[in-house]
Structure formats: C-alpha cells, structure tokens
Amino acid sequence: MLYRDGLTREGIVVDVIIVGAGPVGLSLALGLARAGKSVVVLEKDPGLHTTSRAPIIWPRTQEILADLGVMDRFESASIILKQFTMWNADSNHKLISLPISELKDQTHFPQILILPQHKTEALLYEALKAYPSVQVHFAHEVTGLSQDSESVRVRYATNGTSESEMVASYVVGCDGAHSAIRAALGLELDGITYPLMAALADVKLPYNDPNWVFPRLSVKDVPVVAVQIELGEWRLILPFTQDESITMDERVRLSVKNLFHQADYSLIWQSEFKLHQRISPQFALGRVALAGDAAHLNSPVGGQGMNSGIQDGALLCTALVKAIDTRNPALLQPNAEMRHAKINFGVNQFTNILTRVVMLSKGRYMPWVLRILNLVLKIPSLRQKFLMKLTMLGD
Ligand SMILES: Cc1cc2nc3c(=O)[nH]c(=O)nc-3n(C[C@H](O)[C@H](O)[C@H](O)COP(=O)(O)OP(=O)(O)OC[C@H]3O[C@@H](n4cnc5c(N)ncnc54)[C@H](O)[C@@H]3O)c2cc1C
C-alpha cells in the first residue's frame, strides 16, 4: 500500500486510483506517473490480457505514446505501414491506396502501427515498472465507491473474497464497457446498437507470402477484410454474420481460401459481437471521472475504439494533474465536457458514417465503394481531410 509523505487529509493514501488495467488505464497511469503523481491501478483479472483485440495504432495515438516516452518500444514491436492500401484478393488488384506519409507536415508519425492489443498493454505495463509511485494490483475487483468534498473511498474485493477500502483524492473508471464505476455514479451509456453483427477471427497461416503486406479483401463467398497483425498471423474482420445459414467455422474456412488461396490455417481466437455507438451523458462527477470504453463505445469500423480511449485518457491526465496540484476538483468538469464533445462530434460521427457505408454496401459491393472512394480521394483537399479524420489528427 502507498502512503504519501505529508498527508493533509486523513486516510488518503494515493493521488489517483485507476480502476482497470486496459490500454486506457495503463496509459493514464503512465501519464500521471511521469507528472510525479502517485497512482494505484486496481484490476479485477489475475493478470494482463492475452487476446489481440484492437491492432491499429493511428498517428495521433503515436504522438501520445511519444509524450509517454514509449514510442521507440512501440515502433520496434509493431508492423509499420506508410500507406493505407486495400488489396482485392478476388481480382488481385489494389482497390485503394492512401499515402499516410502525405501527413508528414502534420505529425512526426505519418505511419500506421499494427500491434495486437495485449502487446500494447504489456509495453505500457513494462514502462510503468520504472515508476515506484505506481502500483498495479491484479485480482482486485472494485465493487463500489463513495465520495465527499475531500476524497473518494473505493471498495474492492481481493480474489473474490474479503472486501477492503482504499482512499484517494481522485478515482478514474477505466473499467470498460460494463464499468462498475459508471454504475456507481448512476450513469448509463446512451445510444444505439446497429442492426449488424460482426465477427473477428485471428488465424495463423503455415504459408505467408512476403508480398502480402497490406490489408486484403474478398467478397467471393463471404465478405471479409484481413489485416496482418504479426508475421503470418492475420485478423479476419467478418461483417454481416447475422446470416446464420453459414457457420462461423465455415466463414473462416472460406475466408482463408479466398484471401490466401490455401486450405491450411490454425485458428488462434475468434469472437462475434454487436456493434454499438454509445456515450455516457457525463464523463465526471465530483472527484470521479470516466475514460475509454467506460465512457464511450463506438463502432469498430475504422479501428478507432482503443485509440479514442487512449486519447481521451491523455486529455483527462492534463486536467487531473492540474486538479491535484491546485487542489481544485472543479477543474474536472470543463475537461469532462470538452472530452464528451470531442467524442460525440469526432470519433462517434466518423465511425458512424463508415459503419453506415459498410451496411449500405451489403458486403458484396465493398470493392465498388472502395474504388469510388479511391477516385474521389484523388482530389488533394478531400484526401487530406479524409486522412486527417482516419488518422485521428483532425478534430
Ligand atoms: C473482441 C474485441 C475486439 C476488438 N477489436 C477492436 C479493434 O479491432 N479496433 C478497435 O479500435 N477496438 C477494438 N476493440 C475495442 C477495444 O478493445 C477497446 O476499445 C479498448 O480495449 C478499450 O480500452 P479500455 O482500457 O477503455 O477498456 P478495456 O480494455 O475493456 O479494459 C478495462 C479493464 O477494466 C477491468 N475491469 C472491469 N471491471 C472492473 C472492476 N470492477 N474492477 C477492476 N477492474 C475492472 C477489466 O478486466 C479490463 O482489464 C475490441 C474489443 C473486443 C472485446
């Protein structure tokens, strides 16, 4: 347990308790640690996660990773793409190609990093070890909280048994879509669920052609997009899985056959889910704030979910540091309103448009949609605007 020197308020053991050791909680902990704040991260699971989930890291997030002093580690661990290209595996043609390097005047990182999410989390966790003012406690499930004008009291259960309490100046719920912290604040995610089911499957190929660098698409039997997340390991993204006439196993088999022209593969992991666009009406109440999936969920089309969470956490970090330094919790409120507006009119709007276009394409017309987009984006001003949105560098 951490104890700060020179306590002014009885019982406060730490500046900030972060609930949840996902990418948002860990990156926020690192930001606070670098600003000299004491942090406890409480994570209900017994250790770090092991599944790939969000593999794309856009330039705006890379800028944050650079500020956190970890960009070198991320660059050496990732596959780096300098352009956003989609290859049509059915016709063996390029469908669209957008040079991210065109943004070199807008960012130090005009590139896409591809890294499975569990590796992102592991790199952030590793970086935290350099800061004795941060402790990460696994197998600590937060069950509730109460706050007054001076502090926040968090209740947690260790290994599902006895309950204990810890007191902090501030608490941040980075505890994902089913956030216990959001529930404790009496807030719910408002929004919509799209009439579209999708599935993800990671497969390992025994033969991986070195020329298969860019994402690949096929609509021959089932619509599928594939992204290489590690050498020889591909993430299959399968929209329109609500059609139950084809089993998931069959979808994966057909996808591998059409995308890579081979029958052999091993399935690493798969998951089927609904697509949501939801947001909490408030991102902070008193001394408690929400960030990441706990505060907002967006459609995964566009790969901006984890990215928007890390960016949201970075914005919150600045306000938290000021609030701690000036002992003024009221600073969290304008920050929460700014973060809410940024998500509502930024990532939520953009991913909503992308999702509606995918729905309209009914899957089989996706190559046509991408060809038309490629033509439209030959106009430099439109291409610049689209790239800024996609890479999350623009508002
Ligand atoms: C199957 C799947 C595939 C995905 N694919 C993509 C993708 O391709 N692109 C993309 O951008 N996004 C994707 N996402 C979404 C992305 O993973 C999330 O946006 C991202 O993980 C959000 O990070 P977070 O830190 O806010 O929440 P999470 O990663 O959900 O982390 C929350 C953490 O809080 C912990 N926790 C929960 N409750 C408690 C509690 N009471 N006490 C203590 N700890 C608690 C959880 O165990 C977890 O470790 C995917 C998600 C899933 C599930």
- The string of pLDDT tens digits covering residues 30-58 is 999 999 999 999 999 999 999 999 999 99
What is residue 20's three-state secondary structure? coil
CATH 3.30.9.10-classified regions of the chain: 191-276
Kindly state if the Cβ of 346 falls inside 6 Å of ligand 1. Answer: no
Q: What is the pLDDT of residue 7?
A: 34
Give the CA angle between residues 275, 278, 281 to the nearest 5°: 175
Residue 243 has pLDDT above 80, yes or no: no
- Alpha helices, H only, the chain: 23-34, 59-67, 71-77, 117-128, 180-184, 248-260, 305-326, 332-342, 348-360, 366-376, 380-390
Residue 10 has pLDDT above 60, yes or no: no
Comparing 5 with 287, the larger pLDDT belongs to 287
Residue ID of nearest Cα to ligand 1 atom 2: 53
Residue ID of nearest Cα to ligand 1 atom 29: 22
Give, in words, the CATH class of 191-276: alpha beta
Kindly state if the Cβ of 182 falls inside 6 Å of ligand 1. Answer: no
Q: How does strand 190-204 pair with strand 233-239?
A: antiparallel
pLDDT tens readout for residues 60-84:
999 999 999 999 999 999 999 999 9
**Are the beta carbons of 195 and 301 closer than 8 angstroms?**
no
Residue 4 has pLDDT above 70, yes or no: no
Q: What is the pLDDT of residue 385?
A: 95
Q: What is the pLDDT of residue 340?
A: 98
Residue 382 has pLDDT above 70, yes or no: yes
Residue ID of nearest Cα to ligand 1 atom 33: 20
Place of tokens 């998951």: 271
**pLDDT tier at 242, thresholds 50, 70, 90:** confident
Kindly state if the Cβ of 54 falls inside 6 Å of ligand 1. Answer: yes
Q: Which helix (H) or strand (E) holds 331?
A: none
Q: What is the pLDDT of residue 241?
A: 78
Residue ID of nearest Cα to ligand 1 atom 4: 53
Side chain identity, residue 325: D
Q: Work out the average pLDDT over 175-195.
A: 97
Distance CA 271, CA 163 (A): 33
E strands along 231-295, which residues? 233-239, 266-279, 284-285, 288-290
CATH number of 14-78+115-189+280-364: 3.50.50.60
Residue ID of nearest Cα to ligand 1 atom 7: 54
Q: Which helix (H) or strand (E) holds 198?
A: strand 190-204
**pLDDT tier at 5, thresholds 50, 70, 90:** very low
Helix, strand, coil: what percent of the chain each, to 5? 35, 30, 35
**Are the beta carbons of 333 and 284 closer than 8 angstroms?**
yes
Q: What is the mean pLDDT of the chain?
A: 94
Atom of ligand 1 nearest to the CA of 175: 34
CATH 3.50.50.60-classified regions of the chain: 14-78+115-189+280-364
Atom of ligand 1 nearest to the CA of 309: 26
Q: Work out the average pLDDT over 368-382.
A: 95
